[in-house]
Amino acid sequence: MDTFWKWSVIPENAGFFLGGFRLTLTIFAIAWIGCWAFAVLFGAMRHSSRPWLRYPAAAVVEVIRGTPGLMFVVWVYFLSQPLIGYALSPFWAAVWALVIHQGAYGAEVVRAGLSSVDRGQLAAGYSTGLGYVGVMGWIVLPQALRNMAPAIVNRSVALFKNTSLAFVIGVIEFFRAGTIVNGRENASFAVFTFLAAVYFVCCFSLSRLGHHLGQRPGVIEDTTAV
């Protein structure tokens, strides 16, 4: 019973937990930037009226979304050597896996956001002499981003939670740090309750931000599966 309630392992291993949490935040920050770059590119392609852009983008997005995130992390790590001739480190394999996998979900958010902008804005942009890229970059996308803000926050919550998938390839992020401490101290209840509490605080804070942004009219809600 003493082992079950062994809360002392948390302060005793605070430095180790902090190191793992810092790595989680690093993975999240880099993957977040890459994820939305991917999402904007493929979301714009899916929104395009040109079939040679729309259909390949749709195929890529649907295939990625149909693949479990855990499996995707493993694939990127073990297939990097035969596919690109260079073995990615566990850290970068996890980052790239999250960028691509979560970016595919983000692409649907971007597509919905672009579709929420009145088509007349496109015509107005073309009438000024701008091309497709200019119209999207200067007119449509800024308006769409305001509508997408809550969905972007919700996708960010999903991304933060999915950083824990990096543990499967040996990255010592926050969750992996917890499993290591538990293996050494045999204090499952205390360790995993602490992990759950930290993830909850971070994700709940982001969720409240998304809820606040979602109170504005005309916003896009995220209805994609995690």
pLDDT score, position 48: 82
| Contact yes or no for 202/209 (Cβ under 8 A) | no
Instruction: Give pLDDT tens digits for 9-63.
Output: 999 999 999 999 999 999 999 999 999 999 999 998 998 888 999 999 999 999 9
Give CA torsion, residues 21, 22, 23, 27, to 10 deg.
100
Instruction: Give me the domains of the chain, ranges plus CATH numbers.
Output: 9-213 (1.10.3720.10)
pLDDT score, position 146: 79
**In this structure, what DSSP letter does residue 221 have?**
P
Location of structure tokens 């392609």: 45
Q: Which residues contact 140 (CB under 8 A, 6 or more apart)?
A: 114, 117, 121, 122, 125
| Contact yes or no for 77/66 (Cβ under 8 A) | no
Q: What is the pTM of this model?
A: 0.86
Location of structure tokens 């980052």: 95
